[in-house]
Amino acid sequence: MLLVRRTGPVRVAAHRRMRGAGCAWGRMNGTAQIVIDRVSHTYRPARGRAVLALSDVSLEVRPREFLALLGPSGCGKSTLLYLVGGFLPTETGRILVEGKPVVKPGPDRGIVFQHFALFPWKTVRSNILYGLERQKLPPAERTKRAQDFINLVGLAGFEDSYPSQLSGGMKQRTAIARTLAFDPNILLMDEPFGALDAQTRSLMQTELLNIWKRTPKTVIFVTHDVQEAVYLADRIAVMSARPGRIKTIVENKFGERDASILRSKEFVERVDEIWNLVRDEAIKAQETKAP
């Protein structure tokens, strides 16, 4: 059976009481690593109208949880991820990571973008080493770490290749290795497989699950793909069409999460149920005119 928990007023009231007592929710209940507390975000472009991208979003993410943020295009998923990453300032509400407000990007939060953000003039190895150089690790340790992560994502033999010599899947694996190499506690992934063909995408999803099982991290994985969310995530936060709100949070447990579940009846039914939850939002998003 599908477990759906709506974020209700009781929860918000409890949260407010804790704020009043000067305590962060995460430290109070000891379970949340990331606390997003009544966050709204408005873009104010130099030209054109202001856009309310997120409205009153509250969400908690537990340590080592794999959470999918699922919603139609334009609902504010990337905005929320960039706020957690510290790439955008939080103007309304607050975001805490391990009890501390997010004010800027930090090595505790690694981000993987939709489009592989690799340096085209650097090889696979140099791209991965780049993040480590900035951490000022001793050279021998850096090289070993880079090689470990090259091996982990299956790119052994391609260390000296340039991005232009790699397939889309290999570029994305390089980007993931670069982020994993500096060992962030939290991985923020923004539709990381969105630009890949269906076959590569499916291989990469399985690969990501394998990596996550080997080196468990807290993951927020943004996607608009219901099947991808159901395959990967422990919980799925379904967002409404813009302005983005958390519409529903779905517990998405499976016994053993591997590629064999994709053909199970339980999986197909779960995808159907969640698709029913997001369909209305997808229709609304299509009807919403661009600002």
Q: How far is the CB of 49 from Mg ion (least distance, A)?
A: 20
Contact with ligand ADP (CB under 6 A): which of 12, 28, 51, 277? 51
User: Which residue in 139, 196, 191 sits closest to 170, CA to CA?
Assistant: 196
For Mg ion, the binding residues in 247-266 under the rule CB under 5 A are none
CA 98/CA 26 separation, integer angstroms: 7
Is residue 289 involved in binding ligand ADP (CB under 6 A)?
no
Site string for ligand ADP, 14-43 (x = CB under 6 A): -----------------------------x
Nearest residue (CB) to ligand ADP, 24 versus 237: 237
Residues 226-245 close enough to bind ligand ADP by CB under 6 A: 242
- Within positions 25 to 84, which residues make up the interface with Mg ion, using CB under 5 A? 78
Name the nearest CA neighbour of 244 among 21, 71, 28, 26: 71
Q: Count residues contacting Mg ion (CB under 5 A)?
A: 1
Of the ranges 71-79, 167-175, 201-209, 257-265, which one interacts with ligand ADP (CB under 6 A)? 71-79
Could you say whether residue 173 binds ligand ADP (CB under 6 A)? Answer: no
Residue 45, binding choice from ligand ADP, Mg ion, none, Cβ under 5 to 8 Å by partner class: ligand ADP
What residue ranges bind ligand ADP (CB under 6 A)? 43, 45, 51, 53, 71, 73-79, 242
